[in-house]
Amino acid sequence: MVGRPLRPNKSSDPTVKKGTWSAEEDQKLTAYIRRYGIWNWAHMPNPAGLARTGKSCRLRWMNYLRPNIRHGNITKEEEDLIIKLQQLLGNKWAAIAARLPGRTDNEIKNYWNTRLKKRVGYKNKLQIPIACDIKVKPNHNNGSSHPYACLPTIDTPKLEAGIGSQYEIPTMSENSFCTSYGVQYDDKTSENSWYSPCSVTEEEERLREQFLALRDIEIEENFCGMYMHSGATDPALVCMQQELVYHSGSCQDFIMDLWGK
């Protein structure tokens, strides 16, 4: 069989330099970009006088050389924000970095992996609303699949749920703004108290603000997308939207905002 000749593999090309960038290389790349701008990373190294791949040049520029980059000394505020954003967005380092002026995704990723991951761990993982955190029980009386999902109580156990059940609806849980949902049968005989108030602390409120600020670009899509992939149908979604019962103003606003779009 005669195939196409393989494209030259630059990563194994001995003429391509790898490893730490020298000050001279930095200077060449910076000077070139200042003069000609960024037009094509792949074609840039040669005219810039660099024996690097375009990819390497891009990375060096993006992570180190470009203007307004801040190195080191991540502040407590930045650290807190990284933790919260990671909890909200997951390992979306670019998205997180976009909210920390002067910081790069690589730097934040490194910082997380080397310092924060162990400290924060998974225990405190904030669970953004997804479609598999809660199992809504069907109506005993008429077999309806219209549950009343309600705001949480601290003691409400997080219900096990498999993905794909039509009885699953989005929720938040421990460490979230509202600790978790209680679930109420239509006949209101649930063992879960759903009349307990949802107290929102200052910290939770702050988180909520961050969350709301982020939802347009990340959360809403995940939320709706995951819901729609959970096996639920549109009518069920509408039904639950209508039938969710809220007992706290701020939580209500928050959740309504999520559901609203």
Partner DNA sequence: AATCAGACCAACCGCTATGCC
Partner DNA sequence: TGGCATAGCGGTTGGTCTGAT
Residues lying near DNA in the complex (CB under 7 A) are found at 4, 7, 11, 17-21, 38, 40-43, 52, 54-56, 58-60, 63-64, 71-72, 91-95, 105-107, 109-111, 113-115
Question: What's the Cα-to-Cα distance from 9 to each of 1, 12, 132, 148, rounded to whole Å?
Answer: 21, 6, 44, 59
Nearer to DNA, 107 or 168 (CB): 107
What span, in angstroms and rounded, lies between the C-alpha atoms of 58 and 61?
Answer: 5
Nearer to DNA, 31 or 42 (CB): 42
Closest distance to DNA from the beta carbon of 218 (Å) = 10
Closest distance to DNA from the beta carbon of 184 (Å) = 37
What are the structure tokens assigned to 122, written together? 């998974």
Q: Are the C-beta atoms of residues 126 and 88 closer than 8 Å to each other?
A: yes
Q: Are the C-beta atoms of residues 119 and 145 closer than 8 Å to each other?
A: no
Nearer to DNA, 41 or 167 (CB): 41
- To 5 degrees, how large is the angle CA 179–CA 180–CA 184? 140
What are the helix (H) ranges across the chain? 23-36, 45-48, 54-60, 76-89, 93-97, 105-111, 117-120, 202-214, 220-228, 234-243, 249-260
Closest distance to DNA from the beta carbon of 213 (Å) = 18
Nearer to DNA, 7 or 35 (CB): 7
Closest distance to DNA from the beta carbon of 187 (Å) = 45
Closest distance to DNA from the beta carbon of 74 (Å) = 8
What span, in angstroms and rounded, lies between the C-alpha atoms of 71 and 77?
Answer: 15
Closest distance to DNA from the beta carbon of 32 (Å) = 14
Nearer to DNA, 130 or 136 (CB): 130
Nearer to DNA, 25 or 204 (CB): 25
What span, in angstroms and rounded, lies between the C-alpha atoms of 144 and 184?
Answer: 13
Closest distance to DNA from the beta carbon of 81 (Å) = 16
What span, in angstroms and rounded, lies between the C-alpha atoms of 200 and 216?
Answer: 22
Q: Are the C-beta atoms of residues 198 and 158 closer than 8 Å to each other?
A: no
Compute the radius of gyration of the chain from its Cα atoms: 25
Nearer to DNA, 4 or 261 (CB): 4
Q: Are the C-beta atoms of residues 65 and 21 closer than 8 Å to each other?
A: no
